Amino acid sequence: MDILLVGGLLLLIMMVLLAGGVWIAMTLAICGWVGQAFFTQTQPGKNLFSAFWESNASWELAALPLFIWMGEILFRTRLSEDMFDGLRPWLNRVPGRLMHTTILGCGIFGSVSGSSAATCATISKVALPELIKRGYNEKLALGSLATAGTLGILIPPSITMVVYAVAADASIIRIFLAGFLPGLLLMCLFSGYIMWWSWRHPDQVPAADPPSSFMAKVKQSGSLIPCAALIIFICWVLIAGYATATECAAYGVLGSLLLAAWSRSLTWDNFREGLMSTARTSCMIMFILAGAAFLTKTMAFTGIPRELAEWVSAMNLSPLALIGVLTVIYLILGTALDGISMIVLTSAVVLPMIQKAGFDLIWFGIFIVLLVEIAEVTPPVGFNLFVLQNMTGKDSNTIAKAAVPFFLCLVVCIALITLFPSIVTYLPDAVMGVDK
C-alpha cells in the first residue's frame, strides 16, 4: 500500500477515535499499534513498551511536574492574586489590561522551563482562574494561553533547539541567541492582537481603575515583589549556569512554598490538594507523551516523514517555493508528530536541500521551531490543546478555534522572518561574529 495512503488512513482513525471520546493518549497508542501491526514487519507490543519507557525515563522531564507544582502552589495560595494585584496599576491604561499577563508570563516562564507543556500548564493554572474571576473574556484567555505557551520552545533554553543544532551540526549557542528576537517579535504580535481585540470589544473588558499617582502604583505593586524576585532568581541561576532547568524547577517549588508560608496562606489542605492536582496533571501529560512517542515510532517504521521529504527534494523547487512546500509538509507532520520527532525524522533529507538552496542553517532552525509551535496548537494532535482541555474541561476543538487569531500571528511571524532573515541572524552575528 502507498505510504501516503497509510498516513491518511492513520489520520482518519485518529480523528474517529478522538470524536468518539477515546482518551487522547490511548488514541495515539491505538493508531501507532494499527500502523505497526498492519503496515510494518516489526512487533508493536515490544515497541509499545519501549516507547512508553523511553519517553518518560528522562531527567529533563523531571522539571515538568516540579514546574506544575510551582504553579499549583501559586494558584492555591494568595500569591497569584497578589501577583495580579501588583500588575494591575501598570497595565490599567493599556488596552486589554491584565490579559497581557498571559503573554508576559509565558514569555518569562518559557525562558526558564524550555518546555511548551510546562509553560502552558503552569501559566494557565495561575492566570486563567484570576482572569475569569476578574471578568475577562474566557475565549481570548484560552486562545492566548494555548499559543503563548509555545514560547517555551522558542525562547532559549530549548530542548527542541538543542536537537536541531545536533542534527544540523550547528552551534547551540548561536541558535539560542537566534531565538530571542523572534520570541520578542511573537510576544509583540500576540499582545498587539489582544490590544486590537480589546479596542474592538470594549464591553468585554473590565472597566479601568481610577487614575493613580506613580507612588501609589509603586505602593500597590509591593505585593508583586516576592513573586517577581523568585522568577528573577530562577532566570538568573539558569542563565548564569549555576543550575539546570530541573534544578531551577526545584528552586521554584521551594521558593513558592516559603513565600506561601511567609504570607500565611499555605495550609495542609491546599498543600495536599496541590500535590494531588500536580500528580494528575503530570500523569496526564506524560501519558500523552508516551502515546505520541509510540506513534512516532510507527511513523519512523513506515517511512512517511522521509517519503514526504524525498518527494519535495525530487521537485527541484526555487528557494522560496521550497520553503513554502516545506511549511505545508511540516504542518501536515505536525498533526501526528511532536516537534523533536519532526526534526529527527526529516533532517537527513531536508537539511542538504536547505543548504543547496542557500539558506542559513541557523535561520532554518528558528523557522522549524516556529512550525513546531504551530503544530502544538493544530488539531488533532496539538499538545497544548490537550493540556488546556484536561485542565479546563473544554473540548480541544473549542480551544483550537479560540487560538485561531494567535495561530495567524505565528504565521505572520514566519512570513516576517522569511522576508527579513536578519531578525533571526542579527543577534548571533552581533554577539559571536559572522559565521564564515
| DSSP per position, 291-348 | HHHHHHHHHHHHTHHHHHHHHHHTT---HHHHHHHHHHHHHHHTTTS-HHHHHHHHHH
**Scanning the structure block, which residue is given the C-alpha cell 523547487?**
317
What is the structure's pLDDT at 423? Answer: 93
The angle subtended at Cα 342 by Cα 15 and Cα 413, nearest 5°, is 90
Cα angle, residue 246 at apex, residues 151 and 396 outer, rounded to 5°:
40
Tell me how far apart the alpha carbons of residues 89 and 313 are, in angstroms, rounded to a whole number.
55
Question: Residue 2: its pLDDT value, please?
Answer: 67
Q: Is the peptide bond before 157 cis (omega within 30 degrees of 0)?
A: yes
For residues 349 and 145, the answer to whether their CB atoms sit within 8 Å is no
Rounded to 5 degrees, what are φ and ψ at 244?
A: -80, 175
Measured between alpha carbons, how far is 234 from 122 in angstroms, rounded to an integer?
A: 15
Tell me whether residue 240 is exposed, middle or buried, using C-beta atoms within 10 angstroms of its C-beta: 0 to 12, 13 to 18, 19 or more.
exposed
**Dist. CA 106–CA 211, nearest whole Å:** 28
Report phi then psi at 424, rounded to 5: -90, -45
Q: Closest Cα to residue 223, out of 266, 263, 264, 258?
A: 263
pTM (two decimals): 0.71
Res 342: pLDDT: 73
User: What do you get for the CA distance between the two ends of the chain, in Å?
Assistant: 46
- Among 1, 4, 55, 5, which residue's Cα sits nearest to residue 28? 55
Phi, psi (degrees; rounded to nearest 5) at 246: -65, -40
Mean pLDDT for each consecutive 10-residue tract of the chain (436 residues)? 72 79 80 86 84 74 77 72 69 78 78 67 78 86 87 74 76 82 92 91 78 74 75 74 77 86 84 86 77 79 74 77 84 70 70 80 90 80 78 82 90 91 89 66
Give the span between the Cα atoms of 299 and 31, in whole angstroms.
Answer: 10
What pLDDT, on a 0 to 100 scale, did the predictor assign at position 417? 92
Residue 349 amino acid letter: V
The rounded radius of gyration (Å) of the Cα atoms in the chain is 22
Q: Which of 373, 354, 364 is nearest to 178 (CA)?
A: 364
Contact 185, 422 (CB under 8 A): no
Q: How far apart are CA 138 and CA 398, in angstroms?
A: 11
> Which grid cell sits at 155?
525562547
Task: Give the pLDDT of residue 354.
Answer: 82
- Distance between CA atoms of 210 and 205, rounded to whole angstroms? 15
Q: Is the dihedral of CA 330, 124, 196, 220 positive or negative?
A: negative
CA dihedral 102, 71, 404, 296 (to 10 degrees): 140
pLDDT at 252: 83
The per-residue pLDDT for 72 is: 77
pLDDT of residue 195: 92
At 338 the pLDDT is 65
| pLDDT of amino acid 331 | 80
Half-sphere exposure of 138 (CA within 13 A, CB side): 9
Choose among 19, 12, 9, 44: nearest CA to 29. Answer: 44
What gap in Å lies between CA 317 and CA 312, rounded to an integer?
Answer: 8
